[in-house]
Amino acid sequence: MKVAVLATDGVEQVELDRPWQALEEAGAEPELVSLEAGTIRTYDHIDPSEKRTVDAVVSSADPDAYGALVLPGGVINGDFVRADADAVAFVKAFFDAGKPVGAICHAPWVLIEAGAVRGRRMTSWPSLETDLRNAGAEWVDEEVVVDGTLVTSRKPDDLDAFGAAIVEQFAMDHDEVPADA
């Protein structure tokens, strides 16, 4: 399965690298989709870190080419991605198609912008609790939350559970998942 990993400058490096590794170890093919071609700069919280090469630009990426989507966190990343109309439309297309999506830390900001959180049980970095509740989600403080095809997690400390949950969710046959799951 080809998995889109949507991120831009300011992405939390560990939240990009660890899910990527979990996907590769499970036999998936992650691709870095970003706002612009070239490279993006990862961050270690608020400190610039390493660069990563972009595989596809979101404005021309086809959501139908991917079986699932991962949204890593990072304050800067989450804010930049949610402000990009092409990125928001890309994310919305995964929900419209019933494809699995994983989001950690500040990435649920993007889900709010895509109109994908109302009525869902989910988690995030704690500072997003009010934003998610105001957008109609049931926010809980748990390591990982699976609501239908959506997997959310809070922070880097939860990456083992997040990686395991996205691998399990992405491996499911979602044609058999009830619409209200």
Please identify every residue annotated as catalytic. 106
68-71 vs 144-147, strand pairing mode: unpaired
17 phi-psi bin (left φ>0, alpha ψ -120 to 50, beta other): alpha
Structure tokens at 104: 């950690």
CA 74 to each of CA 15, 21, 53, 106, 174: distance values in angstroms, whole numbers, following the listed order = 8, 18, 18, 6, 29
